[in-house]
Amino acid sequence: MKRELDLPHGYCEDADGHVCFIFQGFRTGTTHRFPDVTANFVTTDDPSTLPDQFHWKYADLRDAPVDISVSDTEVKNNGTDSVIVTLSLDSAAESSRAATFTVGGDSYQMDLAPDTDRTETLTTTAAAGTTIALAVSGPDIDGDTATVEVIA
């Protein structure tokens, strides 16, 4: 996509409103090339009003964010009380991503798909006062962490 600029600074957004390109100090009155995914074009004469960063899918690393959420931050140590752990791959990810889910010191391999939450049930008989660390990581994801406290 080519466009002539009337102001020297700005950014482009895709159809979902995600920032896909940021520019500063471009010459006005001349034609410049911009990403083909551009659906909205914003220009300004004040560079301090520009977004801080691109949406993650347009960054060089392209690591998809994954969120961990827990139904409760405490779990009783009776082996039957449970906490639901939900792993969510950002919906803008274009494909499934391999991930390692770590609970305490134990690791589990899984695939996470965009727009599909993965849920796991956490129960324990660990001593009260124990903190169970949860983490998700992988080569093509921006992981997350959470903790659950064990109570009597």
Q: Per residue in 93-139, pLDDT tens?
A: 778 889 999 999 999 999 999 888 999 999 999 999 999 999 999 88
Report the CATH number that the domain containing residue 113 is assigned in CATH. 2.60.40.10
Residue pair 41/4 in contact (Cβ under 8 Å)? The answer is no
Residues 6+ apart with CB under 8 A from 102: 108, 133, 134, 135, 136, 137
Residue pair 142/56 in contact (Cβ under 8 Å)? The answer is yes
Distances (CA, A) of 19 to 15, 69, 123, 133, 140: 10, 26, 41, 34, 20
Q: How many domains does the chain have?
A: 2
Of the candidates 137, 43, 18, the residue with the CA atom closest to the CA atom of residue 145 = 137
Residues 50 and 125 in one domain: no
Residues 29 and 88 in one domain: no
pLDDT band for 79, please (50, 70, 90 cuts): very high
Residues 75 and 121 in one domain: yes
Q: Is the pLDDT of residue 61 over 60?
A: no
Residues 136 and 71 in one domain: yes
The verdict on pTM exceeding 0.85 is no
E-only strand ranges, the chain: 2-4, 9-13, 19-23, 31-33, 40-44, 64-70, 74-76, 83-89, 97-103, 106-112, 118-122, 131-137, 141-142, 144-151
Residues 94 and 147 in one domain: yes
Residues 70 and 40 in one domain: no
Domain boundary among 58, 88, 106: 58
Domain coverage including residue 15: 2-58
Residues 36 and 91 in one domain: no
pLDDT of residue 40: 92
